[in-house]
Amino acid sequence: MLKAESAADSFSCFVREVEPPLRHALAASLGQELGREATADALAWAWEHLEKALGLEHPVGYLFRVGRSSVRVRRRFRPLFEPVPNGDLPHVEPGLPAAMRALSEQQRVAVVLVHAYGWDRKDAADLLGTSLSTLDTHLNRGLRKLRTVLGVELDG
């Protein structure tokens, strides 16, 4: 067992490392509001199971699944859940939110993590528990669908 002071210090370091990518991934998957709730739930689980959490090989990927599971019940009672914000965002293509809603969840998460947050493709694949080729498939299909919905043509 960890001593109380040591546990608090270890947890603080752990949170500084895993919270930002965990929050990004859960927001991409669940939307901003549920993503924040799922992040808090996952970090609460990590505190309750600190020794296990500190020993995880891929803590962000594991906590991503913990967070998604924690909000599964709450999602059933939120019929107007929108993982993508409405079109009232400054500096954003007005059609982008609707186009993002047209993507599957896997495509949306892959596109947001890699192209919006700048994640390495390998890290995104690890988080999602998929192979790199599967992530690439989600990325390619998602980007192709976005181009189609937004009416964007590639030069060349």
Q: What is the pTM of this model?
A: 0.78
pLDDT per position as a tens digit, 38-56: 999 999 999 999 999 999 9
pLDDT per position as a tens digit, 122-134: 999 998 889 999 9
Please report how many Cα atoms fall inside a 13 Å half-sphere around the Cα of residue 62, on the Cβ side: 13
CATH fit for domain 85-151, picks 1.10.1240.10, 1.10.4080.10, 3.50.30.10, 1.10.10.10: 1.10.10.10
102 alpha carbon, distance to own chain's centre: 17
Q: Is 15 exposed, middle or buried (0-12, 13-18, 19+ CB in 10 A)?
A: middle
